[in-house]
Structure 1
Amino acid sequence: MRITQGCFSYLPDLTDAQIAAQVDYCLRQGWAVSLEYTDDPHPRNTYWAMWGLPMFDLRDPAGAMAELGACREANPETYIRINAFDPTRGWETVRMSFIVQRPAAEPGFRLVRQETKGRSLHYTMESYAVDRSPEGARYNR
């Protein structure tokens, strides 16, 4: 199963040249770039770990690519995404987000059915990654 979150997630993985081109586009728009990583890509998991600080003063995509290389080296089997934050007054939000690294094997999700009061049924998704402990080592074999 391939996780599809953010821009470009239905496309084949971007090359480093394509990633740099997207970062360059973000910088030309005046957006700040940041990197985040996680081993639990559940759609409601908005708390990915931040790699360093957002690069508000970055003007060249080479800086972001250097940080991406360091993040990949430190977190080889995690999801890594690039976020582009628009600080323009009135927007002040993430304008673009895309995955730039995936683990070798993506475990996917399962549907959990729960019967509650009055025989009501509630459904939720759970990542198979959370069954693998400890956190941060869920993809180790």
Structure 2
Amino acid sequence: MADFQDYKQTVKYETFSYLPSLTADQTRQQIQYIVSQGWNPAIEHVEPSRSHKYYWFMWKLPMFGEQSVDRILSELEACHREYPNHHVRLIGYDNYTQSQGTSFVVYRA
């Protein structure tokens, strides 16, 4: 039984938080996937202490029909500059299923 290790509990957020952090290119690829699926990107942010207890704050309105990966990245960066001590996540809303197609944290505080 000495081969077993204790699970170290750490706070995890969204889909990719159990993996190593995404590189800039991998983040760009995920945004391109959101756009290629026809999903509407939306950006949210929250203080780390509130991330599991409350709703996240929306950064502007969802970017309905946005096709530019660079524009989405620039909005993510603008949100991070405005709230440097907040987590910032990107959500891809699927109009067809009326649900989130994907969601992941881009910047951690």
Q: Which interval holds the TM-score relative to the shorter structure?
A: 0.7 to 0.9
Query: For 1:72 and 1:15, how far apart are their aligned partners in 2?
Result: 16
Stretches of structure 1 lacking an aligned partner (at least 5 in a row): 104-141
Higher helix share: 2
Instruction: Give the partner amino acid of 1:62.
Output: D
Structure 1 residue ranges, 4+ long, deviating more than 6 angstroms after superposition? none
Query: For 1:78 and 1:2, how far apart are their aligned partners in 2?
Result: 18
TM-score, structure 1 normalization: 0.66
Q: Does 1:19 align with 2:40?
A: no
Task: State the Cα distance separating 1:2 from its structure 2 match.
Answer: 4.1
Q: Based on CA coordinates, which of the two structures has the bigger radius of gyration?
A: 1
Retained in 1: the 8 A contact 2:93–2:99? yes
Give deviations 1:25-78, integer Å, cap 9, x for gaps.
011011000100000111x42x11111110112112111101011011111111
Larger relative CO (CA 8 A, sep 6+): 1 or 2? 2
Give deviations 1:73-109, integer Å, cap 9, x for gaps.
1111111110000001xx1111101011111xxxxxx
Instruction: Give the partner amino acid of 1:41.
Output: S
> Given the alignment, which residue of 77, 102, 105 partners 1:96?
102
TM-score, structure 2 normalization: 0.84
Q: Which residue of the partner structure matches residue 64 of structure 1?
A: 72
Assess, with a 3 A threshold, how the Cα gap between structure 1 residues 21 and 51 changes in structure 2: closer, same or farther: same
Q: Which residue of the partner structure matches residue 3 of structure 2?
A: none
Aligned residues: 99
Q: Which residue of the partner structure matches residue 120 of structure 1?
A: none
